[in-house]
Amino acid sequence: MTMKLFIETTDDSTVLLTGCVKTLTNNRRANRLMRDSFECLVEDDRIEISNVVDFHRCFERIDYLAKLCGIETEYSDKSNDVVSRYLSEESRFSAFSQKALSIRNNNCDLNDLNAFKNVLIDQMPRRTLYPLQMLSAYHLAFSQNACNFSVPGAGKTSVVYGAYAYLKNLPDSDIKKIDRLLIIGPLSSFAPWEMEYEECFGSKVVSKRLSGITPDAKKQYLYDNDPAELTLLAYQSVDSIVDELKYFLRKHRVMVVLDEAHKIKNTSENSVYAQAVMSLAEDCSSRVVLSGTPAPNGYEDLYNLFKFIWPTKRVIRFQIGQLKDMSKRDDDNRVEQLIDQISPYFIRVKKSDLGIPAATVHPPIIVHMKEDQQRIYDFIEQAYIRDLMSPDEKLFKSVVTKARIIRLMQAASNPLLLEQPLADFAKIEGIDFAGVEEDDSIFRLIRDYSYNGIPAKFEKAKEIINDIIADGGKVVVWACYIKTIEFFSSYLTSLGIYNKTLYGETPVANDELTPDNEEYYLTREVIIKEFNSLSSELKVLIANPFAVSESISLHKACHNAIYLERSFNAAHFIQSKDRIHRYGLPNNVQTNYYYLVSDRSIDQTIDERLEIKEQRMIEIMEKMPIPLFSNATDMGGDEDVKAVLRDYARRIKT
């Protein structure tokens, strides 16, 4: 006999539960969740839930609790407006989810798909989507609310514009009609969205960047009766204009796109950015989540992403604590249930799906440090290794340990980076850093390094750059530290090699930085446009992976990358490689990576660790529906520190 829980509404704020009440209350977990969720009076044969504000969410919660106990729910008064609307919506959502899953699995109505394709051919004359992009765009246009977790370089922006083109072309009477886009993303994403629009539609978009302007100017724009077709907003700006954004979303038919959406993954109530963005969800006409790394820390990172696209549904039926627990176990059978729950609402294209010609990874180029640099490196290494070898686990995991790893990396690459840290150290120790004169003083070596020598890596990189330019190519040089970027840029300039730099402090164009302003020509948009022009004289771009790893494409003009410096962060490393190795490369194009590695140094440990991490990440990304990464973004995680100690021990034995 089927056990049932009967549900009825008795007034405007009360729900009564009868039937298998004891089954519910005897289940410790269900009973605890019920009491945490509701104001309820529990009796032997009934439960009265009072002060209900949102019946829809109340019914969802009751259904969830019943499923925990293995009992069915039945609504006693289905003619009640509140109940009938809920049951109707649940039925439609279930049917919708099944169709969305069929589309995702490429089981489409061919007539409907062809009609969709014809609209895109007409509306997007400059861009032809490849089959997986077309399927992704069709899935998004059908569902209106979806996640795209495709790898960098898969063309997620084009997919969004494909769905947008279809929805915008619907008649005004259609409930799915969209007429504007709001992109919330990092500042670096603004220009790519604007440029991709022109690439797709053949005309420049009327856009508005809500950055670099006063809060009052932002608010005034959002209250405008005729705002731009494309509005661009940074995550950090949302909290200050939430009310105005809600007005904007209610007044217009807006598709809201969260680019690099893992930035709202934090489920803590203290996460201002995440909470502000989440509060907009119910007012969006369409919701899109884009991220190549949706779960960098664990399955709990997915919670906000799916809550944003379906704020009134429990797409993920696990609690945050459960998701965290699932992330710790490779064989947790609940993961399969999670994937089943979210499958209708996301699409993911792997790199192997793109058919990109394989890149050429040249063997690490071993660079021998010059005498002064070697002395500096040996001093730093010997001074720090003793502490790294401490048996004290707290010290091993401390911030100080991570900082010393960074000093080793700086010494192996460019001792010029050590001048300020050593000056600060000398000040603490009471040493007159500026007045040090002893010839054998390590302080003097570091202080005077900029006058006495050029790092060997700089010279080797210059040789490779000259060969690339002579062969008619362009090259992006990646470095971790801003001073290295600036020093190397000055070094190349002194040799007559025209170059430009791109890092966090490179300004983004806004209403105040226009072509009439000289600073406009120093913005990242202008620099990238010049570098991407095949006819420009700019052949060398020096950039920081941390600041340029998102949303930027360099593959149309540049097919060479030199790594002057690398850290243990595999995520930034892989993302930087994807800047020049993306969908759309012709089969006859060779992409080249050159890694400069200082001999007998931490560089060699980093090279080995990155190779291990990269292979593991690629394997995970290709095999797992939702890739989880461990120690991929760490800056000197436990395993990295152990590898540093192991390699030091090897070197001193030889």
Within-domain flag for 49: yes
d(CA 59, CA 222): 35
Nearest CA to 567 out of 540, 605, 618, 593 is that of 605
pLDDT value for 513: 61
**Which run of H or of E encompasses 540?**
strand 540-543
Q: How confident is the model at residue 426 (pLDDT cuts 50, 70, 90)?
A: low
Strand boundaries in 204-261, DSSP class E: 207-209, 230-234, 254-258
Q: What is the mean pLDDT of residues 230-242?
A: 95
Contact 2, 72 (CB under 8 A): yes
Residues 271 and 207 in one domain: yes
> Across residues 132-136, what is the average pLDDT?
93
Quick one: pLDDT band at residue 514, thresholds 50, 70, 90? low
Least confident stretch, 155-159, 581-585, 645-649: 645-649
pLDDT attached to residue 385: 79
Task: Please check whether residue 328 lies inside any domain of the structure.
Answer: yes
Question: Residue 440: inside a domain, yes or no?
Answer: yes
436 and 471 in a single domain? The answer is: no
Q: Assess whether 249 and 143 both reside in one domain.
A: yes
> 542 and 395 in one domain?
no
Name the pLDDT band for 654 (thresholds 50, 70, 90): low
Output the pLDDT for position 159. 96
Q: Does residue 528 belong to any structural domain of this protein? A: yes
Q: What is residue 384's predicted lDDT score, i.e. its pLDDT?
A: 80
State the Cα–Cα distance between residues 411 and 422, nearest whole angstrom: 12
Amino acid identity at 305: L
- For the segment 606-625, the average pLDDT, to the nearest whole number, is 86
Q: In this structure, what CATH number is given to the domain that contains residue 47?
A: 3.30.780
Which residue, 349, 379, 394, sits at the end of a domain?
349
Specify whether 184 is located in the same domain as 317. Answer: yes
Q: What is the number of structural domains in the chain?
A: 4
Mean pLDDT value across residues 330-359: 90
Q: What per-residue confidence (pLDDT) applies to 536?
A: 95
pLDDT of 107 higher than 80:
yes
Residue 416 in tokens: 């010029």
Q: Is 25 helix (H, G, I), strand (E, B) or coil?
A: helix
pLDDT at 623 over 90: no
What is the 8-class DSSP label of residue 649? H
CA–CA separation, 616 and 238 (whole Å): 36
Going by pLDDT thresholds of 50, 70 and 90, the confidence category of residue 461 is very high
List residues bridging with 159 in a β-sheet: none
Average pLDDT score over residue span 36-65: 88
92 is a domain residue: no
pLDDT of 438 above 50: no
**Which letter does DSSP use for residue 358 in this model?**
P
CATH number at 482 reads 3.40.50.300
Please report the pLDDT score of residue 632 as a whole number: 46
What is the pLDDT at residue 278? 94
State whether 536 and 440 are in the same domain.
no
- Say if residues 199 and 127 touch (Cβ distance below 8 Å): yes
Domain ends where: 349, 377, 412?
349
